[in-house]
Structure 1
Amino acid sequence: MTVPEQYRTPEAGNVTTHAHAVDSHAWIMLALLCVAQFVNVLNFQSVTLVLPAIARGLSLSTEISQWVVSANILAFGGGLLIAGRLADHIGHRRMFMMGVAIFALSSLLCGLSPLLSILIIARILQGLSAAMMASSAFALLIDIFPEGNYRNRAIGIWGAVGPIGGLIGTLVGSVLADRFGWPWLFFFNVPIALGTLYLAYRLLPRRLEQADAAKFDIVGALLALGSVVLLIESLTQIANGPGGDWLLPVLLLAGACALFVLFCWFETRIAHPLVPLHFFRYPNIAGANLASLAFSAAANTSLFFFALYMQHIRGFSAFMTGVAFMPTNIVLIAGSFVGARLVNRFGYKRVMLLGLGLLCMAGLLFSSLSINGSYLQTQLPALIFLGAGLGIVQIGAMGAGTAGVPPAESGLASGVMSMTGQIGTSIGLATLVSIAAIRSAGQPSNPAVLVAGYQWAFYGEAAFSLLGILLVLLTIRKPPLSADKAVTVNHSDELSESIRRS
């Protein structure tokens, strides 16, 4: 076929032909997928913000009310890998629609819950459905957009949707809870999810429902689920402070390690493993996921310590703390779009290094905060660096972590990337909370000592960023020149044809 246009793929410099690679239907489908991402982030951010209102409404203690958030996190983190792999088996379109439907049902159940037990069950379902949506939606993005410039732009848009959801979640969550009561926080999701389900049925072509006929690895899935859940729960126990009793988090961590070793052993013994070992032999897959662990540990814990500082030291309300944090989300949106353009020009590796460098600067700027420090002079610059760094590095990592992955394993790639980010956040929170607690031990009511503990935590964030830089330098490689890149033309032609038929 005659190809009038040429595009160069990141890093490799090899020419990829993308004649009519995507049309308006592809961008409409991306907008639909972004709605699911938006609702996921909005739901998590808003529920975390109004947790005190939920505790008052159900007469819960602070410790017990944390399970409203923790149950969702455990279900989401534990379900990502399984949902991603299962999506490859039953079809990405089918998994996406199932996730949206369960999300709508679980949101309704959350709002109608009269008891904590029912709310916890509903939040677990919400977490599982969010994992189904997140892994399959990103896999669909990979299916729709061929590797190269178009996919990088799509990933940039996808990355910008998260902080938009965070921004709106901060405002909508507090308004709905104050005006109508906390159940309306969940009812708000229902019409959005139902509309998304209807549009997915009408817009997503059935070609994206093609499934892998290989047998699903149930034993491996259970081992992986148990390992991830125990790991996240052990790190959560450490982050929340075990109160001097370290036996439970240590046992949980040991159990997670034992299940992980058993999972790795089992995966080498079966014909159709949940995670084939050759998966990590694709260029940059392992490096991108290691870098994701590091930058998630550094960036995703900043809001936690920033909120503690603003509310405990500066006396801000939860709502005003969210407003003060908004510059990060705004700059993160811009950073996502800029990151996509930078990837097209400079490649994944340089973009990831730039983003991690900005995150390191953010941690160092945050470490200079004081009891009476100026928001404009100290915290605002740090928030700007944080948003820019996270927006840029996550685009590079998502691109590197999915480049070269065949469609039959795109759900797995998406699930692994999301899961490593979740685990990295848990590792960062557990580590940095422990560092802050060590510094402020014995004087938890002394503001000066508390600030010193926060400073140590932000130094730890800078250290995680430096670790990420080292991992990128050591593991991210330029993909070799490949003549078969032009197969993306056939992929896009088939997709366009299936769109016209659907």
Structure 2
Amino acid sequence: MPENLPEDAAAPRRRLGLTLALLAFAQLIISIDYNIVYVALPEIGSGLGFSAQNLQWVISAYAVAFGGFLLLGGRASDLFGPRRMFALGLALYAGSSLLGGLATDPGTLIAARAVQGVGGAFLFPATLTLVSTSFAEGRERNRAFAVWGTAGGSGMILGSLLGGVLTDAFGWESVFFVNVPLAGLAALLSFTLIAPDAPRTGDRPSFDLAGALTSTVGITALVFTLVQGPESGWTSPVVLGAAFAGLALLAAFVAVERRSAHPLLPLRLFRNRNLTTGSAITFLYMGTFGTLLYFLTVYFQGVHGYGPMTTGLAFLVPMVAIAAGAQAAGRLATRYGIRPIMIAALVVGGVGAVVVALGMSTGASYLALVPGLLVLGVGQGAGYTLMFGAAALGVPAEDQGIASGVASTTQQIGGAVGLALLVAVANSGLDGLTGDALRSATTDGLRTAILLAVGGIALTVLVALGLRKPATREIAEQTDSPTESQPRPVVHV
């Protein structure tokens, strides 16, 4: 901040900086929580008596609820206010984390994880909405997304490190208890640091109950299908039934939205090319980059025998690279535009993934992976920062919540699809193997899966070519009523 900034201008700027810090902190909580449980899974399984088949639901219950409720959470931000939904999401996080840490049986822990997912589904779109609406398109928003993206990208790695430290020192319960004070404090600070939501008036749209039910249950069933398919088999009655129900409900959802006077998801939003392109990018990004943490964890623990603590420390290098990439992305996007920097980030990340894959072997040292991890982290951090900002370009303020819900829903589904497909590739040919033969085959499978992910990254580059600068006329067409012509900040794409 310049030293000669007038006092009456400095105070709002400081407040906005504190608001951004809180939003980044909330994103850090979401990212940490998504990954902190992974390294604690063996202790959770033995401590609560999970079967090998049911243990996956410690992860899956969160993913299914998160993905299923995102559209509802996004529209709730538009109708009831993002600050209210921000505080609600954090309160759900704190309460469910306390329940999870106190759980004494598998059912209670799975229920707690599902409630955490619902909390994330309200918190994530609200956070995105607050970033998009609090900062003007262009330099301010790019810098805000850089800070937010740094927190999100670093949290994915920090969750693994923190999970290993806490599990070794205090037991698996601590990975849940740590969320309670963090989420509780952030919820309380939201009423001080975030501007109050606009008061509700009689002309606000009514809540689309039919759309909420069909979309939430339909997406939940679809995410359940993607999560359970690899475990139960894609042709099992449960998986096929969930898939059929999900697709039928989503078809009903589209029909409801076409006829609704106040739809949960206004279909006119899909006329915004950046929203559709940005959502496709988030789908492919999570189906490729978003799976690499899993494969690296398997490589470190399954091939080289790292423990939870050592695995967490191994992720410090990519965490630093992700933070550097996220920070650089905001500055570069302001200068050169989102599209070229998004494409460059994907290319850099793809090259890093190739280097990592080719460096994998049963006898390779950790240092052999460091160059690839650094390049991969820079591209991954930059891409994560920019993809949500791209989806928000040109979306009216009153629709930012549902637009964030759309982008984050594709994020969750993309991650589930990518992980299901790539894990199947990585695990093929492992049956019956033990010892060195198993380690060698595991390494080969992981390498193949990562190289296939690189092919998906190349496809993402082609999709990113579709991003464009939103025109003022296009923005006006997306609103239901005529708007006064107002000057808008220059946005580079």
Please give the TM-score of this superposition, normalised by the length of structure 1.
0.87
After superposition, the Cα gap between the structure-2 partners of 1:272 and 1:266, relative to the gap in structure 1 and judged at 3 Å, is same
Shift of 1:312: 2.0
Superposition pairs of residues 306-321 of structure 1, within 5 angstroms? 306-321=296-311
AA of the residue aligned to 1:53 = E
Is 1:101 aligned with 2:94? no
SS at match of 2:487: helix
Q: Unpaired segments of 5 or more residues in structure 2? A: 1-8, 474-483
* 1:205–1:243 CA distance, 2 compared to 1 (3 A): closer
Structure-2 change in CA distance of 1:22 and 1:420 (3 Å): farther
Counterpart AA for 2:210: V
User: Paired residue for 1:153, among 143, 148, 167?
Assistant: 143
Amino acid at match of 1:215: S
Aligned to 2:446: 454
2:297 is the alignment partner of 1:296: no
% of aligned pairs identical?
Answer: 34
Structure-1 residue corresponding to 2:487 = 486
Superposed displacement of residue 488, structure 1: 6.8
User: Hey, what does 2:222 align to over in structure 1?
Assistant: 231
CA contact (8 A) 2:84 2:197 kept: no
* Residue in structure 2 matched with residue 188 of structure 1 by the alignment: 178
Q: For residue 255 of structure 2, what is the aligned residue in structure 1?
A: 265
1:59 to 28, 38, 49: 49
Distance 1:156 1:366 in 2: 25
Cα shift readout 1:417-469 (whole Å, capped 9, x = no counterpart): 2111111111111111222244x265544333332222221121011101111
Q: Distance in 2 between matches of 1:131 and 1:262?
A: 22
Structure 1 contact 298–359 (Cα < 8 Å) conserved: no
Equivalent runs, 1:30-429 vs 2, <5 Å: 30-207=20-197, 213-238=204-229, 240-242=230-232, 246-368=236-358, 369-377=360-368, 379-429=369-419
- Distance between the aligned counterparts of 1:169 and 1:453, measured in 2? 25
Question: Once the 2 structures are TM-superposed, how far is the Cα of residue 227 of structure 1 from its aligned partner?
Answer: 2.3
> How many residues of Structure 1 are paired with residues of Structure 2 in the alignment?
468
Question: How far 1:86 moved relative to its partner?
Answer: 1.0
Structure 1 unaligned regions, length at least 5 = 1-18, 490-502
Do the aligned partners of 1:309 and 1:454 also contact (CA within 8 Å) in 2? yes
TM-score, normalised to structure 2's length? 0.88
Relative to structure 2, which stretch is displaced further, 367-376 or 209-218? 209-218
Please tell me whether the aligned partners of residues 168 and 309 of structure 2 are also in contact (alpha carbons under 8 angstroms). no
Aligned residues of 1:37 and 1:134 also touching (Cα < 8 A): yes
Q: Measured at CA, do residues 355 and 22 of structure 1 come closer, stay the same or move farther in structure 2, by a change above 3 Å?
A: farther
Query: CA 1:175–1:371 in 2, change beyond 3 Å: closer, same or farther?
Result: closer
- Distance in 2 (CA, whole Å) between partners of 1:93 and 1:225 is 22
> 1:51-104: per-residue Cα shift (whole Å, max 9, x none)?
222222212223222212211111111111110111111111111112222222
* Structure-2 change in CA distance of 1:396 and 1:34 (3 Å): closer
Q: Which residue of structure 2 lines up, in the alignment, with residue 495 of structure 1?
A: none
Query: How big is the alpha-carbon RMSD for the aligned residues of Structure 1 and Structure 2?
Result: 2.5
Q: Structure 1 residues 167, 450: closer, same or farther in 2, change over 3 A?
A: closer
SS of the aligned residue for 1:273 comes to coil
Question: Judging changes above 3 Å, is the alpha-carbon distance between structure 1 residues 355 and 444 closer, same or farther for their aligned structure 2 residues?
Answer: farther
1:291-344 deviations in Å (ceiling 9; x for gaps): 111111110111111222222222222332222222222111111110101110
| Whole-Å separation in 2 of the counterparts to 1:380 and 1:450 | 20
